[in-house]
């Protein structure tokens, strides 16, 4: 248990937060599929990435560290020809994307995960991958499952759920399929797979039509190893963005971020609420985000196509909403129920223990603003993003906040506390 107590805290200085989790998973996976060597700089070091790394090693890729860089010797899409067992821990991205990447295995691959991952829906990847020729053995469309295939066939598939993990699983399977694969999405989701493939020589074309986006991938492709630099993770930066805008005197620069519109929903919504945030270009093509205390935030409505652009940041947005003037409504966010915890419930339950006024809806929340939060005992629900959101909430509260299961943050951000301490200042009142 962690005892958090701050006296007039504020965030100041410069910080490069942890590297991007989504990009780190994909860098390892595409490197493992490729022919030759991939060199990855700034790969995220966190439990979910270890799950992907160990699975790829088991399937035959050589992954080593050399002076801070990660070197992947790819298998040229020849995964190990034997029955294999994989434990993907807590990582939904590993389980779903690796099902697509390994879909061309002729031997049986068995997947399982921790208690939380075994609850998460897998029908969303099983259905399309079966259409492509993968044979799954599963009891309830969840983990554990096993799969193998004789031959994969490309297809055209319209995503029934706005999920980058489903889109990516299909594209990764499409790489070794006969014939081309097209994924159609009506609601844009994070686009890292299709953006990163060309770095490995992958042939993929993205067409933005009026009502939807089409991602067309050439079938039966070899990829070539490459060199990659992983930027900082906007979803990890989000904790510091919110910490800075909510604490008086804060003035913080977050470094090495990308300005990817499929990931920047939180910044867009906060700007609309009146936050003092500014993108500043860096010489290396990445951006700094300058974040300052923002005393006059206004409630807002977040819904529809905006939701996937900030899906992982919604628990933090709920915290911001408690401090804004007026009501905030979040709708169409039912996907939150099937994350590492049911985040509609875990967010509301824990913030209410600290004095927030939140009405839980089927697909989101109604959150009253202007709440004076108070101390209390809260829990992470074994969910990394809930643990870190609650630590940021504690910055707003003069009384102690006791947080249990805080080690959940190691899933995406083991250095969170160190990073927080490096920019945290307190004014001790006499």
**Shorter beta-carbon distance to ligand S3P: residue 277 or 311:** 311
Return the CA Rg of the chain. Answer: 21
Check if 312 is active-site: yes
The DSSP call for residue 214 is E
- Closest residue (Cβ) to ligand S3P? 22
Q: How far is the CB of 162 from ligand S3P (least distance, A)?
A: 7
Q: Which two tokens stand for residue 35?
A: 């022919």
Which of left, alpha, beta for 222 (phi over 0: left; psi -120 to 50: alpha)? Answer: beta
**Shorter beta-carbon distance to ligand S3P: residue 73 or 383:** 383
Q: Can you say which residues are annotated as belonging to the binding site?
A: 21-22, 26, 92, 120, 163, 165, 312, 339, 343, 385
DSSP letters spanning 227-251: EEE--B-HHHHHHHHHHHHHSTT-E
Q: How far is the CB of 175 from ligand S3P (least distance, A)?
A: 16
Give the active site residue among 48, 256, 312, 383: 312
Residues 125/129/134/139 CA torsion (nearest 10 deg): 30
Q: Are 297 and 317 in contact (CB under 8 A)?
A: no
**Shorter beta-carbon distance to ligand S3P: residue 16 or 26:** 26
| Buried residues in 122-154 as b, exposed as e (16+ CB within 10 A) | bebbbebbeebbbebeeeeebbbbbbbbeebeb
**Shorter beta-carbon distance to ligand S3P: residue 54 or 278:** 54
Binding site for ligand S3P (CB under 6 A): 22, 93, 163-165, 168, 190, 311-312, 335
Burial of 225 (0-12, 13-18, 19+ CB in 10 A): buried
- φ/ψ of 105, rounded to 5, equals -70, 135
Q: How far is the CB of 301 from ligand S3P (least distance, A)?
A: 21
CA angle 222/225/226 to nearest 5° reads: 135
Q: How far is the CB of 40 from ligand S3P (least distance, A)?
A: 16
Q: How far is the CB of 116 from ligand S3P (least distance, A)?
A: 13
Q: Which two tokens stand for residue 186?
A: 């009506």
Q: Which residue has the tokens 């804060």?
A: 250
Q: How far is the CB of 83 from ligand S3P (least distance, A)?
A: 28
| Buried residues in 47-86 as b, exposed as e (16+ CB within 10 A) | bbbbbbbbbbeebbbebeeeeeebbbbbbebebeeeebeb
CA nearest 387: which of 421, 366, 410? 410
What span, in angstroms and rounded, lies between the C-alpha atoms of 25 and 259? Answer: 19
**Shorter beta-carbon distance to ligand S3P: residue 241 or 401:** 241
Distances 194 to 265, 330, 416 between C-alpha atoms, Å? 19, 29, 29
**Shorter beta-carbon distance to ligand S3P: residue 73 or 410:** 410
**Shorter beta-carbon distance to ligand S3P: residue 256 or 383:** 383
CA nearest 171: which of 145, 190, 187, 146? 190
Q: How far is the CB of 19 from ligand S3P (least distance, A)?
A: 13
Enumerate the active-site residues. 312
């Amino acid at each position: 248990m962690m005892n958090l107590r701050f006296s007039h805290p504020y965030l100041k200085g410069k910080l490069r937060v942890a590297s991007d989790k989504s990009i780190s998973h994909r860098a390892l996976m595409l490197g493992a599929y490729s022919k030759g060597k991939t060199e990855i700089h700034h790969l995220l070091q966190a439990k979910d990435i270890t799950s992907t790394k160990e699975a790829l090693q088991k399937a035959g890729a050589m992954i080593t560290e050399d002076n801070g860089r990660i070197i992947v010797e790819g298998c040229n899409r020849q995964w190990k020809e034997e029955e294999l067992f994989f434990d993907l821990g807590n990582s939904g991205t590993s389980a779903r994307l690796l099902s697509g990447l390994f879909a061309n295995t002729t031997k049986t691959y068995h997947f399982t995960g921790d208690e939380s991952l075994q609850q998460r829906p897998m029908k969303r990847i099983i259905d399309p991958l079966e259409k492509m020729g993968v044979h799954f053995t599963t009891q309830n469309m969840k983990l554990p499952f096993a799969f193998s295939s004789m031959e994969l066939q490309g297809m055209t598939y319209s995503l029934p759920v706005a999920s980058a993990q489903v889109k990516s699983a299909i594209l990764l399977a499409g790489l070794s399929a006969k014939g081309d694969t097209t994924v159609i999405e009506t609601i844009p989701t994070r686009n890292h797979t299709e953006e990163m493939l060309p770095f490995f020589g992958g042939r993929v074309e993205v067409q933005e039509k009026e009502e939807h986006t089409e991602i067309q991938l050439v079938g039966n492709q070899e990829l070539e190893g490459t060199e990659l630099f992983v930027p900082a993770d906007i979803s990890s930066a989000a904790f510091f963005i919110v910490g800075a805008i909510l604490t008086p005197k804060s003035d913080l620069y977050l470094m090495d971020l990308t300005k990817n519109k499929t990931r920047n929903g939180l910044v867009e919504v906060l700007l609309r609420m009146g936050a003092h945030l500014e993108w500043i270009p860096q010489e290396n093509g990445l951006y700094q985000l300058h974040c300052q205390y923002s005393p006059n935030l206004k409630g807002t409505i977040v819904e529809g196509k905006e939701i996937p652009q900030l899906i992982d940041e919604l628990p933090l947005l709920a915290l911001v909403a408690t401090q804004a003037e007026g009501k905030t409504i979040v709708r169409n966010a039912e996907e939150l129920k099937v994350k590492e915890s049911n985040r509609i419930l875990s967010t509301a339950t824990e913030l209410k223990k600290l004095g927030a006024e939140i009405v839980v809806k089927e697909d989101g929340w109604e959150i009253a603003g202007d709440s004076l939060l108070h101390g209390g005992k809260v829990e992470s629900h074994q969910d990394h993003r809930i643990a870190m959101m609650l630590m940021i909430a504690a910055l707003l509260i003069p009384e102690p906040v006791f947080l249990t299961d805080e080690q959940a943050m190691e899933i995406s951000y083991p250095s969170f506390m160190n990073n927080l301490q490096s920019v945290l200042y307190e004014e001790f009142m006499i």
